[in-house]
């Protein structure tokens, strides 16, 4: 079977979905091929743009962007201006989909609260994660749900008190009774968030929070305020209980990431993007430096997908966009070499969070996100790369994962859309 | 100033074995260990309970010791031994001329060998190379080093033996040619302790030479690095050995759901050469492929290294050619009365080594009690009623595992779990529940999450700490275990320790797992950034 559209996007993380939606909005016929659920499913759902540069906290991510090295994806796509435009675009997509995204009250990053009680710089977050209201109060309750193993108020409070700006606040531990049967499985924030989508779940949450809402003006919660209707549920709870609720950034499963994924999927659908799930791209046909087709493997066999241009947003090591073997690293679809040192030990730093080849390995591209060969020339003229498959940045140390995914995905979609 | 009769330096299998033996004979003893219990070579080996087959040709005496001790440990420490049996396999690359002398040497040492038809062997072990030439069954087994040492320690405590972990000995005092006492520093608090005693036993393994340097003497101990690779799959049911002169990378040992491949033998310039280089890992994969052709398709869980304390008499061979036998020095021969050193040997023979040394110490002290370590089990079996009770508070299928792991502490932990509102599994890979973690964390020998890991196997499984470490530090912070490190620092150290084992094999599925780990702990939780932003 051979299908043709204008553009084929591979990958349904934030980069792939942003690319596909942007291209479709510019009038192109777009096919989105995806193998798994994309990393939004394990993401915080907040847009980290740039939190640290060489280990130093940045005050304003856009100001600091100008000092990034030339091979950093932000530098390649034009820096602050391009990134700001992508953020404004995502905000409008999310608003249409029912999630209001919030900037920090002052210029620069938010300082989000995590379920470990650590603070994390991030540029844009859903309203429900905005921690600004904590500044004006002295007391807050830290809430968990019984049997939720990954959220411990005692740990969160201990940790929050270690930050100068929070050391004098009074925090109280609160444990809500678990509203669902848990058998022998973990209770995660995702289970509770889904339950809260139901009328009985919503009633349960409101009733369980009531006693704490009477005592504390701010409640810190794991991300449990619903899924599809999270914004309404959060609004409703805040006004009914007369409190401010702050959802804390949580580890996988990524509740807020899934909320955003849902919004983007709906937008893709509305824009006419043809999305094919459970379709792993296993190879590509390339002729004279141009990609003709990519081929997916499904239970029914191999399918070929033809397009004028391709956007590859397959992620990094975790998602499979990058493959490795001792002394070798390559991009998985086109087998582009990533110039890995032959000595595998030189890939990583003795410090787990240290900077290293391993942390920032990825495809080298030009200003149009087209891949470059060893001589620095474009080697695939109608293929662009976006998101973690790109090299030149360390999403974990910089706290720039969703920022780079969004900005490069949108940029690749715009360029392909103009062709 | 504290007083005891014997101070033992070193908390590995040998030192703890000595502590148990002396305590059972009624001799007062204190053990000092610079790290955690079994944190050196006693946990950094392949976990093979040797049948002795490996040494039969070269060192028949050592082989005989192995088979005798092997049978004793199956009895006294059966909670620590997985009776998996072993195959010796003649591969296409091995010299068939070795087969006959090997069979004869095994018979001479008292090791039962039974030829297995190659077709039958391939049916039992389908991952073996179909081209293998001959197979013999031997009584090899898998042994859990951590657990065996801990069970010895619990038994020693029951008899009054005392141990101080994270205590580094910095001086051995002497007067008139006789040892008087030992001074050590608590590495956690910085405090110094002085213990006066009549006898000092140096059982510091690869560190033995450093210990005798304190009294200006020398011993012939050469640390020898052995690297091992743990795979996230159990692809053999039995211990698999190559039927050839013992060499690198020729043993596969299955443990629970994993398999360990080892080992290399390289001269180490220091006793704590615990970094496993990628070079060693690649070498092990090359050699291992001869027996298991699809070896590279399995995910490597981690690589680790330990240092064997090889005994090298002056002018004799080092490395693979050095003796695996053990040696005891009575330093009175060099003018220092009351000091003994024991080194060399193998994990399998730790009990025998302890017995021989304790015989000498008792003779010196004029104690006539007999050694009973070969007959008395390390721990008593839990009662059926206790097992039944445990099934209410632990996942049912984990109860025997938990009982074996905890030994003496099992009833205490069951009662603890019964008193808790719930007892969730915090480490799903190794089935460690909150009650067990809280109990182990509150033991005086635990100072960090890494200590808890060593004893419970927390974070040693498939996720290598990615999922269990956050919830564990959460639980420990909530129950206010007074660790010296802040929660974030404790977690960072724990992950850093895991990283050391992941780094040497950072490709394929392992690299994938590590990117997830960095996404969770750095990108999402920012524990790297928190380092400078939090106060302790």
Q: For the segment A51-66, what is each residue's pLDDT rounded down to a tens digit? A: 999 999 999 999 999 9
pLDDT value of position B466? 86
pLDDT value of position A120? 97
| A245 in Cβ contact with A237 (< 8 Å) | yes
Q: Give the pLDDT band of residue A1 (cuts 50, 70, 90).
A: low
* Distance from C-alpha of B342 to C-alpha of B10, rounded to nearest angstrom: 11
Chain A CB contacts of B522 below 8 Å: 353, 396-397
Q: Give the pLDDT band of residue B265 (cuts 50, 70, 90).
A: confident
Chain A CB contacts of B519 below 8 Å: 39, 42, 318, 395-396, 401
Q: Give the pLDDT band of residue B272 (cuts 50, 70, 90).
A: confident
Lay out the sheet containing A139-145: strands in order across. A170-176, A139-145, A218-221, A244-247
The distance in angstroms from the start CA to the end CA of chain B is: 32
Average pLDDT over residues A30-57: 95
pLDDT value of position A161? 97
Mutation target vs A (from B519, B521, B532; most A CBs, 10 A cutoff): B519
Q: Of A387, A301, A400, A330, nearest to A20 (Cα)?
A: A387
* DSSP per-residue string spanning B325-367: SEEEEEGGGGT-BTEEEEEE--GGGHHHHHHHHHHHHHHHHT-
* Distance from C-alpha of A193 to C-alpha of A191, rounded to nearest angstrom: 6
Number of domains in chain A: 2
Same domain, A91 and A119: no
Average pLDDT over residues B490-507: 92
* Distance from C-alpha of A37 to C-alpha of A11, rounded to nearest angstrom: 9
Mean pLDDT of chain A: 95
pLDDT at B314 over 80: no
Chain B CB contacts of A186 below 8 Å: 424
pLDDT at B417 over 90: yes
Same domain, A272 and A387: yes
pLDDT value of position B278? 94
Over residues B346-368, the pLDDT tens digits come to 999 999 999 999 999 999 999 99
Residue A345 resides in a domain: yes
- Give me Rg for the CA atoms of chain B: 23
In the listed set A192, A225, A249, which residue is the last one of a domain according to the structure? A249
pLDDT value of position B311? 82
Structural domain including A154 reads 115-249
| CB nearest to B470's CB, from A52, A147, A150 | A150
Same domain, A285 and A408: yes
Residue A255 resides in a domain: no
Residue A414 resides in a domain: yes
- Which tokens is B31 given? 């053990």
pLDDT at B222 over 80: yes
Same domain, A264 and A399: yes
Place of tokens 């490069």: A408
ipTM (interface pTM): 0.97
Q: Estimate the share of chain B in helix, then strand, then coil, as percent rounded to the nearest 5.
A: 40, 20, 35
CATH number of this structure's domain B2-40+146-220+324-365: 3.50.50.60
Residue A107 resides in a domain: no
Q: H or E segment at B65?
A: helix B60-76
Extents of the domains making up chain B: 2-40+146-220+324-365, 81-141+222-309, 424-533
Residue window 123-152, chain A: list those with CB within 8 Å of chain B.
Answer: 146-147, 149-152
Place of tokens 């909005």: A25
CATH number of this structure's domain B81-141+222-309: 3.30.9.10
In the listed set A249, A275, A309, which residue is the last one of a domain according to the structure? A249
* Distance from C-alpha of B148 to C-alpha of A156, rounded to nearest angstrom: 37
Residue A254 resides in a domain: no
Average pLDDT over residues B482-510: 91
In the listed set A222, A249, A276, which residue is the last one of a domain according to the structure? A249
Kindly state whether B284 is in contact with chain A, defined as any CB-CB distance less than 8 angstroms.
Answer: no
Residue A240 resides in a domain: yes
The alpha carbon of residue B332 is apart from the nearest alpha carbon of chain A, in Å, by 44
pLDDT value of position B315? 54
pLDDT value of position B322? 58
pLDDT at B51 over 60: yes
Q: Give the pLDDT band of residue A183 (cuts 50, 70, 90).
A: low
pLDDT value of position B326? 86
pLDDT value of position B364? 96
Q: Provide the phi-psi class of B312: left if phi over 0, else alpha when psi is between -120 and 50, else beta.
A: beta
pLDDT value of position B102? 97
Kindly state whether B507 is in contact with chain A, defined as any CB-CB distance less than 8 angstroms.
Answer: yes
Kindly state whether B8 is in contact with chain A, defined as any CB-CB distance less than 8 angstroms.
Answer: no
Q: How many helices (H) and strands (E) does chain A have?
A: 12, 19
H runs (alpha helix) in B377-467: 384-393, 399-406, 410-419, 434-441, 449-456
Is the peptide bond preceding residue A253 cis, with omega within 30 degrees of 0? yes
Residue A404 resides in a domain: yes
Same domain, A265 and A340: yes
Residue of B nearest to A353 (CA): B528
pLDDT value of position B176? 93
Same domain, A299 and A180: no
Mutation target vs A (from B512, B529, B532; most A CBs, 10 A cutoff): B529
Mean pLDDT of chain B: 93
| CB nearest to B525's CB, from A118, A345, A348 | A118
- Does the pTM surpass 0.95? The reply is no
Q: Give the pLDDT band of residue B436 (cuts 50, 70, 90).
A: very high
Q: Give the pLDDT band of residue A2 (cuts 50, 70, 90).
A: low
Same domain, A359 and A394: yes
CATH assignment of the domain containing A176? 3.40.50
pLDDT at A368 over 70: yes
Q: Please indicate whether the domains covering B2-40+146-220+324-365 and B81-141+222-309 agree at the CATH topology level.
A: no
Same domain, A335 and A313: yes
Residue of A nearest to B394 (CA): A184
* Distance from C-alpha of A71 to C-alpha of A285, rounded to nearest angstrom: 28
Residue A103 resides in a domain: no
Share of chain B above pLDDT 90, in %: 77
């Amino acid at each position: 079977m051979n299908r043709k559209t204008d553009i084929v996007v591979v990958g349904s993380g934030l980069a792939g979905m942003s690319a596909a939606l942007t291209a479709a909005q510019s009038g192109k016929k777009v096919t989105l091929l995806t193998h798994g659920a994309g990393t939004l499913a394990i993401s915080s759902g907040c847009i980290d743009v740039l939190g640290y540069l060489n280990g130093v906290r940045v005050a304003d991510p856009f100001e600091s962007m100008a000092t990034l090295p030339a091979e950093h994806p932000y530098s390649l796509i034009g820096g602050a201006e391009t990134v700001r435009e992508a953020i404004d675009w995502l905000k409008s997509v999310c608003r249409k989909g029912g999630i209001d995204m919030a900037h920090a009250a002052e210029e620069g990053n938010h300082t989000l609260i995590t379920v470990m009680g650590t603070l994390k710089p991030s540029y844009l977050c859903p309203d429900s994660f905005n921690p600004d209201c904590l500044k004006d109060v002295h007391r807050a309750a830290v809430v968990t749900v019984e049997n939720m193993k990954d959220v411990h108020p005692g740990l969160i409070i201990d940790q929050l008190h270690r930050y100068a700006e929070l050391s004098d606040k009074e925090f109280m531990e609160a444990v809500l009774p678990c509203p669902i049967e848990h058998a022998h499985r973990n209770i995660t924030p995702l289970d509770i968030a889904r339950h809260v989508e139901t009328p009985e779940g919503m009633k349960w949450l409101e009733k369980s929070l009531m006693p704490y809402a009477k005592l504390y003006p701010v409640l810190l919660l794991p991300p449990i305020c619903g899924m599809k209707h999270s914004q309404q549920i959060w609004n409703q709870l805040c006004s009914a209980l007369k409190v401010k609720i702050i959802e804390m950034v949580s580890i996988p499963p990524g509740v807020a990431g899934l909320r955003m994924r849902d919004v983007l999927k709906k937008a893709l659908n509305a824009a006419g993007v043809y999305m094919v799930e459970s379709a792993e791209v296993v190879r590509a046909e390339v002729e004279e430096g141009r990609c003709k087709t990519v081929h997916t493997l499904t239970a029914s066999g191999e399918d070929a997908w033809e397009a004028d241009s391709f956007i590859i947003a397959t992620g990094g090591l975790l998602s499979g966009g990058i493959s490795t073997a001792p002394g070798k690293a390559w991009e998985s679809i086109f087998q582009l070499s990533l110039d890995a040192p032959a000595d595998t030990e030189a890939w990583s730093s003795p410090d787990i969070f240290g900077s290293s080849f391993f942390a920032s390995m990825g495809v080298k591209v030009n200003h149009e996100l087209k891949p470059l060969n060893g001589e620095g020339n474009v080697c695939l003229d109608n293929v662009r790369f976006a998101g973690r498959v790109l090299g030149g940045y360390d999403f974990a140390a910089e706290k720039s994962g969703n920022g780079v995914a969004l900005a490069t995905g949108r940029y690749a979609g715009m360029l392909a859309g103009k062709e | 100033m504290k007083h005891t009769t014997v101070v033992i330096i070193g908390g590995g299998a040998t030192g703890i074995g000595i502590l148990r033996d002396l305590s059972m004979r009624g001799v007062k003893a204190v053990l000092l260990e610079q790290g955690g219990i079994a944190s050196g070579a006693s946990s950094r080996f392949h976990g093979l309970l040797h049948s002795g087959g490996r040494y039969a040709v070269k060192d028949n005496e050592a082989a005989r010791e192995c088979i005798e001790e092997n049978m004793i440990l199956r009895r006294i420490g059966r909670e620590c031994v997985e009776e998996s049996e072993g195959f010796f396999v003649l591969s296409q690359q091995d010299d068939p001329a070795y087969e006959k002398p090997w069979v004869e040497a095994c018979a001479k040492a008292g090791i039962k060998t039974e030829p297995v038809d190659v077709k039958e062997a391939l049916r039992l072990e389908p991952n073996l190379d179909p081209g293998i030439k001959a197979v013999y069954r031997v009584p090899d087994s898998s042994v859990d080093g951590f657990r065996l040492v801990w069970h010895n320690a619990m038994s020693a405590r029951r008899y009054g033996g005392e141990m101080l972990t994270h205590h580094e000995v910095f001086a051995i005092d002497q007067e008139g040619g006789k040892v008087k006492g030992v001074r050590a520093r608590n590495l956690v608090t910085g405090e110094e302790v002085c213990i006066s005693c009549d006898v000092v036993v140096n059982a510091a393994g690869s560190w033995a030479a450093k210990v005798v340097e304190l009294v200006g003497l020398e011993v012939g101990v050469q640390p020898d690095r052995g690297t091992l690779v743990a795979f996230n799959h159990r692809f053999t049911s039995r211990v698999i050995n190559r039927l050839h002169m013992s060499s690198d990378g020729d043993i596969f040992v299955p443990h629970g759901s994993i398999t360990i491949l080892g080992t290399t033998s390289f001269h180490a310039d220091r006793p704590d050469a615990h970094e496993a280089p990628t070079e060693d890992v690649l070498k092990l994969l090359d050699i291992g492929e001869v027996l298991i052709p699809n070896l590279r398709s399995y995910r490597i869980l981690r690589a680790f290294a330990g240092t064997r304390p090889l005994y090298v008499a002056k002018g004799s061979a080092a490395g693979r050619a050095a003796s695996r036998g053990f040696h005891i020095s009575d330093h009175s021969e060099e003018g220092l009365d009351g000091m003994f050193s024991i080194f060399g040997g193998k994990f399998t023979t730790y009990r025998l080594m302890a017995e021989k040394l304790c015989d000498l110490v008792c003779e010196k002290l004029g104690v006539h009690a007999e050694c009973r370590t070969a007959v008395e089990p390390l721990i008593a079996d839990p009662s059926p009623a206790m097992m039944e009770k445990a099934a209410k508070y632990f996942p049912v299928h984990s109860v025997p595992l938990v009982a074996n792991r905890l030994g003496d502490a099992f009833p205490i932990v069951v009662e603890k779990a019964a008193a808790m509102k719930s007892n969730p599994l915090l480490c799903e890979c190794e089935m460690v529940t909150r009650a067990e973690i809280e109990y182990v964390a509150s033991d005086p020998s635990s100072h960090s999450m890494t200590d808890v890991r060593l004893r419970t196997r927390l974070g040693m499984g498939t996720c290598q700490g990615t999922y269990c470490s956050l919830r564990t530090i959460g639980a420990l912070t909530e129950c206010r275990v007074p660790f010296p490190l802040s929660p974030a620092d404790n977690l960072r150290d724990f992950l850093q320790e895991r990283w050391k084992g992941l780094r040497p094999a950072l490709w394929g599925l392992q690299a994938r797992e590590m990117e997830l780990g960095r996404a969770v702990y750095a990108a999402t939780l920012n524990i790297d950034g928190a380092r400078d932003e939090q106060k302790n």
